[in-house]
Amino acid sequence: MKNLLDFTGKVVLITGGSRGLGKTMALGFAEQGADIAVSSRKIESCEKTADKIRTLGRKAFAYACHVGHWDELEGLADSVYNHFGRVDVLINNAGMSPIAPSLFETSEALLDRVIGVNFKGPFRLSALVGSRMAAGAGGCIINISSRAAVSPTAQTAVYGGAKAALNTITRAFAYEYGPKVRVNCIQCGPFHTDISKGWSMSEEFAARAKVTIALQRAGDPKEIVSTALYLASDATSFTTGAVIRVDGGSP
């Protein structure tokens, strides 16, 4: 199993890779030998994460891209391929989840932004990278979804809808680019990150978690890394089109 999780010589592209779960996965793959392409909206944040990856003895490439902007994604894919010559693993992690006051008060602008980042971007980037993987040595795509995809509230309806769409296209892309490319999805529950700590570490959340979550807590970011490594490795050579829950037993 240790050899199966050895990513030496592999290249991993992670969107939203400069903070939160994306950063943790970037460092986790680097610790297992992978070279990492880190993308997010701000190049300074990408470079900081890239510097940490280099301290682990791995190569890193930083590239600023807003995944919700369709016309920026081809530049991202081309730049990573020009730099490394290949992509073995694509992790569509970038996301945004603004809260709407109500369904009636949800604006078209908010809907377009949320769908752009959480669905349209991963769709296009998976096509750009997945097609090259299929034409070459193959690879793996991992989409990062949310339990909101199956259990949304009125305030998270747009986000949940976008993530539900991401769950759905996981299977579509698995068929489109199989058998050389495997495509799977991690459906996340609540995690403690720099983004969520305002609510995930609150007394209100802790009280609710004791009743609604089987493990009665939010996850540590490192607890997603093993699942991402597993899905990207040959240990899951017969797993594709799957949605894997990593949510502590959330409803």
CB under 8 Å, gap of 24 or more: what pairs does 129-136 form?
Answer: 129/13, 129/77, 129/87, 129/90, 130/90, 130/173, 130/176, 130/177, 130/181, 130/183, 131/177, 132/77, 132/81, 132/87, 133/87, 133/88, 133/90, 133/177, 133/180, 133/181, 134/177, 134/180, 134/181, 136/86
B/e letters for 220-232, b = 16+ CB within 10 Å, e = fewer, are: ebebbbebbbbbb
159 is catalytic: yes
Catalytic residue among 159, 175, 177, 230: 159
User: How long is the chain?
Assistant: 251
CB 183 within 8 A of CB 131: no
Catalytic residues: 159
